[in-house]
Chain A
Amino acid sequence: MKHRFTVVAELDCPLPVAVAAYLDCEHYLFLHRSLTDSLEIVKVDGLKVTVRQSWKALGLKLGHDKTGEYLPPAEFRIYDVVPAPRWFPSVHHVVDVATRLRYAAVPERDATLMTFEVELGLPIWLWPLRGLLQRLIERMHAAQNAEDLAMIKRRERLIGRKNLLSAYLRDHHFCYHKDEFVRHFG
């Protein structure tokens, strides 16, 4: 059974900066440390990157693998979320999660419209808990957005809104799919 929901919000930052912050993979383990303990690249296939995201618990490293896909210029999908290791009793054995995140420019305010669509494939016995799962996902996504926006706002105070993108475009800066990003926003 499919449960779908959408979160729409306006982010107070220019579109290229919202995209850059998403692709800036070096901050995932630090700024978003409450969401994961470790990250490993499992596979790279063009604009698809499969990662293993893990947490330490009881001396074990438990988590999940997920594939993230970038659809330039400003769309991101996550799918194929499976437990890692496979024997680990995880919600991902029974719940199929797929997300689609789209950013669009709001020119009149130099802001970004975020549309976050989530599709949960649930067994019938978990259907009554769909609201709880939705709230958990919404909360995690909001927390991540808040941390990203706090970073962007601090940088804006330091260097100005018009200069926010420059750090992401520097030659030495690494981020996912940088060539594609630079092609669209550089």
Chain B
Amino acid sequence: MTRDEKAFFSVPIPLEMLDGAAPLRVDLGEGFEAVALLHAGRPVVYRDLCPHMGGPMSEGTYEPRGGTLSCPWHGYEFDAATGAFARNPNKDIFACMHGLYKTHKPETTPALRLQALEHELEDGRVWVRRP
């Protein structure tokens, strides 16, 4: 094994646990939680934390056709491949109310992105690099 063991979390993710249909919450050891899924046949791993309000992405919905992972709290959708924010599904619902409040400034919305965790595949196990 050439992998630097200190650079990686101690608990790997067995590839067979990723079924390509739903996100999986994994404890990588030391209390660090990640969400893993099989997207387009490849494992992707993010910190289990929505950058919007901190929701558990592992309890969200993976949409393979659209390639998105959504947060279970507010439904914010992220590109499953890159972690980049893709869509706020509430925007259309409440569009008629946007502009009503001086304290709401949507133009200041930060560029939200899931925290991607680098990983290596070895013998059917996904080893996640410490951030």
**A residues lining the B interface (CB < 8 Å):** 25-27, 29-31, 39-41, 44, 49, 151, 154-155, 158-159, 167, 170-174, 176-179, 182, 186
Contacts and interface: CB of A to CB of B under 8 A. Distances in A.
B104 A174 contact: yes
B105 A171 contact: yes
B119 to A, nearest CB: 23
B108 A171 contact: yes
Contacts of A154: 54-56
A172 B110 contact: yes
A26 B94 contact: yes
Contacts of A29: 75, 89-90, 93
Nearest to A180: B101
User: Which residue, A26, A41, A172, has most C-beta atoms of chain B within 10 A?
Assistant: A26
Nearest to A51: B93
B75 A30 contact: yes
B72 A178 contact: no
A110 to B, nearest CB: 20
Interface string B53-95: 1111000000000000011111100000000000011100110
Contacts of A39: 93
A160 to B, nearest CB: 12
A176 B90 CA distance: 13
Given A25-B94, A30-B75, 10 more contacts: A29-B75, A30-B70, A31-B74, A44-B100, A151-B73, A172-B105, A172-B106, A174-B104, A174-B106, A186-B103
Q: What are the 7 closest A-B residue pairs judged by CB atoms, nearest first?
A: A172-B109, A171-B105, A30-B75, A178-B101, A26-B90, A171-B108, A182-B103
